[in-house]
Amino acid sequence: MTKIIDARGLSCPQPVILTKKGLDESDEVTTIVDNRTALENVKKLAKSKNCSVQVVEKEGEYHLLISKGSSEPQHTIDQGSVAVLITGSLFGNGDEELGKILMKSFLYTLTQMDNLKHLIFMNSGVLLTTEGSGVLDLLKALEESGVEILSCGTCLDFYELKDKLAVGKVTNMYTAVELIASAPKSITL
Q: Across all residues in the chain, what is the average pLDDT?
A: 87
71-103 pLDDT, tens digit per residue, is 444 444 444 688 899 999 999 888 999 999 899
What is the residue range of 178's domain? 82-188
pLDDT of residue 70: 54
- Kindly state whether residues 91 and 119 are assigned to the same domain: yes
Conformation bin of residue 94: beta by default, left when phi > 0, alpha when psi is -120 to 50: left
SS3 at position 8: coil
Domain of residue 8, CATH code: 3.30.110.40
- Kindly state whether residues 110 and 145 are assigned to the same domain: yes
pLDDT of residue 80: 62
pLDDT of residue 111: 84
Based on the structure, what is the number of domains in the chain? Answer: 2
- Kindly state whether residues 91 and 59 are assigned to the same domain: no
Conformation bin of residue 144: beta by default, left when phi > 0, alpha when psi is -120 to 50: alpha
102-125 pLDDT, tens digit per residue, is 999 889 888 877 888 999 999 999
Q: Which residue has the higher pLDDT, 48 or 4?
A: 4
Domain end point (choices 44, 68, 92):
68
- Kindly state whether residues 62 and 94 are assigned to the same domain: no
**Average of pLDDT values for 51-65?**
89
- Kindly state whether residues 9 and 88 are assigned to the same domain: no
pLDDT of residue 118: 93
Domain end point (choices 17, 44, 68):
68
Strands 82-86 and 116-121, how do they pair?
parallel
Domain of residue 135, CATH code: 3.40.1260.10
